[in-house]
Structure 1
Amino acid sequence: MAARGAGAGTTAGTAAAGGPATSFQRKAAAGGSRLSALPGTRPSARHGQLLLSSGLPSLDAVLGGGLAVGTLLLIEEDKYAVYSNLLFKYFLAEGVVCGHDLFVASAMEPPDNILKKLPAPLLDDAHRNELREEATPAKSEDSQDSMKIAWRYENLPKMEASPTTSTKFGHYYDISKTMSPELLQSIKRHSFYLPEELSLEPKLKTWNMNCGYASLLHSIQRVICQEGFDGSHPQKKQKNILRIGIQSMGSLLWGDDICSSDTPEDIHSLTKFLYVLRGLLRKSLSACIITVPSHLIQNKAIMERVTNLSDMVVGLESFIGSERETNPLYKDYHGLLHVHQIPRLNSLICDVSDTKDLAFRLKRKQFTIERLHLPPDLSDTVSRSSKQDLAESAKLLSSGCGAMAIGKKHLDF
């Protein structure tokens, strides 16, 4: 009772002095500050989850600020896997610059070859000025056409496309140059090359999935537990983030047959792999990006399950080899970006983007995601041609109705 009285007196004294009315202290603040001190991360203002950059600031804006720690980003590859591999390299390059550990898995090429082709970061003002000069002509063209664009498009905020403004989260990269070997050697990396792994280990089929997926899960679990990324157990070493990148899951190179026919023999290997992988990610300081050739998967039910088992799903539709490549309406873009799924983290609703019309373009030194809008002059010509088509169709319809009326009159007679 004496201790309680003393505490009450202290509380009353502080309240009378204008201080806090209670001696309660938030112990979670210290833990949160330690987590937010992890390199290359920041807490989300919306749901409090730790975020890390995807390596592309415009993609971070589409995903609600970045990738949350413990989540999975699925990228549906374009037809020739040109732009999806570029996003894959952006994610890994951001991990190198932030000092994160990397886990790179592939069945197509050795992970060391992938890391050697990572874009060079723009860490000094000289390179930023070069990229700013490249983006200046596009800005001047936009200013000239600003009076021609309709009023409902003119006031829309634009996606961040170039490093003209300073940012403390995420970095910019020059895709015309590769990252220096000294910078790659400064981080710890783990690789998984399927042909080598299957030659070293026996082909065992566990968890009712093929041996390639099972071996990959064992490797990821071993790295998470042994390298101190398991958040469910206290670790003695300094905490860090593990970035996991898996290339072209579901393809025939992984021993999966979902791309070979509409009714594959083993349709549950990929979905079971994603189910177990998400469990590993949820209890670890890690984030994962996976590319999937969705255009080759004939069974759409499998793709729906894969989407439901992912946290974020982004699709890339390239114009290469299609009619839109020569269409003047899309002359400023190289493809469309489709956001299929955004996670609901610690909230009932997700961070929905204010627009769904997104496109991407590949410049000489950078890859950008922008809002899609039709050129003003072409849109006017399209509207005029559509009006003419409607007028001609109305004439044909009226003449057809008149012919039907005459025919009916003759029949009645």
Structure 2
Amino acid sequence: MAAPCEAKTSFQRRGKSKNFSARGTRPSLHNGQLLISTGVPSLDHLLGGGLVVGSVLLIEEDTFGSYANLLLRYFLAEGVMCGHGLMVASAEEQPKHLLKALPHPVDDDKETTQRMDEEKMKIAWRYQHLPQHQLSETGQQFGHSYDLNRLMGESRLTTVKTNCFYLPSEKISHHDNSINPAYQRLFSKVESEITEGGYSLTADAAKSQGVTNRNILRLGIHSLASPLWEVNSIQQSTVSLCRFLHALRGILRVSLAVCVLTIPTHLYQDESKVRRIERLCDTVIRLESFAGSDKETNPVYKEYHGLFHIRRLPRLNSLTSYLPDSLDLAFKLRRKKLTIEKLHLPPDLSETVSRSQEDPAKKAARNASVSAFSCSSSLTERKLDF
């Protein structure tokens, strides 16, 4: 008699997974995505731990573009400290000048701890236990600290591979009038850098299987879509930009590269074009600087230099995106660093303000009634406990 057939299952014991690991990276606690630091610990916390490898971060510039440029320099400086490859593209400022203006890293941990203790003494006791968005979810800082008063030496820049793209020095060909040739030239440069630099996960797959020391590419594009990038007619500028962002995000998805770009969206009068650009990026943040506005002299915002808006959060390989504790955020530029904190308004003094702005006639009538009541009895001079 034949033996009964045993039931078989398709489940197998899971072995040790071979996850990719490189310096300056770590897996996300939410979905296991590979993350890198932006150089600003508070920004890493708001984004769910850092920037996802293979994604695009859009920084909508402030009016003068100074703070957006500062975040871009933080991003590049972190790449130098981690030994990542760098590629800087710009049409306004020389990429070499951006690299020379990177902030100096703070290597002394004692100096950082002492500065944090001094800042803690300045905070009111009732705000000490509120979240400051400075540390990561594990309680440890991801990335490095930097001193804005000092510049990174050129000796550190020579330790990493850098590639620069300066639009005025590039040879632009006008073959297709429907697409901006400047964006075509930039995309071809990015594609060749990813393919030839060994950052691609699809090209030369057979050769890349034996490579164990894979690295990360940090791509920084300064003030994209500004008037200096317009080579053809302005009517095709938005269409060309959208095509470039769509192609850029597609090539980043299959590579070990991360892109941070800044766009002066305040120059666009049509909000629908801005929304279209935002949808083609994974993460979108907007900086609203107080410089040159009425909020600069408003005592309510005297502790901050601008508002920080999160317009879009990454949602890669997951149904929902990470959501921070609060979306009411502001940034301040201190003497040595840039921080992003929860917006804390001063205490509400509405009662005092309303009494100070009271009508003089009503105030005189109220004082007369109080004086008449005090003449009839002496209750006004006593302290009554109800």
TM-score using structure 2 length? 0.83
* Aligned residue type for 1:71: S
**Does 2:239 match 1:245?**
no
**What is the root-mean-square deviation of aligned Cα atoms in Å?**
2.8
Name the CA shift for 1:255/1:23 in 2 (closer, same or farther; >3 Å): closer
1:8-407 residue pairs with structure 2 within 5 A? 24-26=12-14, 29-32=16-19, 35=20, 37-129=21-113, 132-133=114-115, 135-144=116-125, 146=126, 156-160=130-134, 167=140, 169-198=142-171, 201-205=172-176, 208-233=178-203, 234=205, 235=208, 236-237=210-211, 238-255=213-230, 264-376=235-347, 379-380=348-349, 382=350, 384-385=352-353
Q: Distance in 2 between the 1:30 and 1:138 partners?
A: 43
Q: Distance in 1 between the 2:119 and 2:164 partners?
A: 40
* Aligned residue type for 2:353: S
Name the CA shift for 1:387/1:257 in 2 (closer, same or farther; >3 Å): farther
Q: Deviations over 1:229-258 (max 9, x none)?
A: 111242254310000000111111111689
Name the CA shift for 1:331/1:257 in 2 (closer, same or farther; >3 Å): farther
Q: CA deviation at 1:39?
A: 1.0
Q: Distance in 2 between the 1:102 and 1:295 partners?
A: 28
Q: CA deviation at 1:187?
A: 0.2
* Aligned residue type for 1:158: Q
Q: CA deviation at 1:265?
A: 4.5
- Bigger drift between 357-366 and 233-242 goes to 233-242
Give 2:370's aligned residue.
none
Q: Secondary structure at the match of 1:75?
A: strand
Q: Secondary structure at the match of 1:365?
A: coil
Across the two proteins, how many residue pairs are aligned to each other? 349
Give 2:383's aligned residue.
none
CA contact (8 A) 1:250 1:256 kept: no
CA contact (8 A) 1:73 1:310 kept: yes
Give 1:409's aligned residue.
none
* Aligned residue type for 1:352: L
Name the CA shift for 1:179/1:374 in 2 (closer, same or farther; >3 Å): same
Q: CA deviation at 1:167?
A: 3.2
Q: Distance in 2 between the 1:141 and 1:160 partners?
A: 17
Q: Distance in 1 between the 2:287 and 2:141 partners?
A: 27
Q: Distance in 1 between the 2:231 and 2:293 partners?
A: 28
* Aligned residue type for 2:153: S
CA contact (8 A) 1:251 1:257 kept: no
Q: Distance in 2 between the 1:383 and 1:44 partners?
A: 47
Name the CA shift for 1:51/1:265 in 2 (closer, same or farther; >3 Å): closer
CA contact (8 A) 2:56 2:282 kept: yes
Name the CA shift for 1:136/1:328 in 2 (closer, same or farther; >3 Å): farther
Name the CA shift for 1:100/1:62 in 2 (closer, same or farther; >3 Å): same
CA contact (8 A) 1:209 1:273 kept: no
Q: Distance in 2 between the 1:23 and 1:279 partners?
A: 34
Q: CA deviation at 1:127?
A: 4.1
* Aligned residue type for 2:131: P
Q: Identity of aligned pairs, percent?
A: 43
Q: CA deviation at 1:345?
A: 2.0
Q: Secondary structure at the match of 2:22?
A: coil
Q: Secondary structure at the match of 2:123?
A: helix
Name the CA shift for 1:66/1:84 in 2 (closer, same or farther; >3 Å): same
Name the CA shift for 1:257/1:80 in 2 (closer, same or farther; >3 Å): farther
Q: Secondary structure at the match of 1:267?
A: helix
Q: Deviations over 1:131-166 (max 9, x none)?
A: x42x4444223234x1xx7xxxx86422218x9x98
Q: Secondary structure at the match of 2:17?
A: helix
Name the CA shift for 1:38/1:270 in 2 (closer, same or farther; >3 Å): same
Q: Distance in 2 between the 1:385 and 1:229 partners?
A: 61
Q: Which sections of structure 2, spanning at least 5 residues, go unmatched?
A: 363-386
Q: Distance in 2 between the 1:255 and 1:205 partners?
A: 14
Q: Distance in 2 between the 1:305 and 1:314 partners?
A: 14
CA contact (8 A) 1:54 1:90 kept: yes
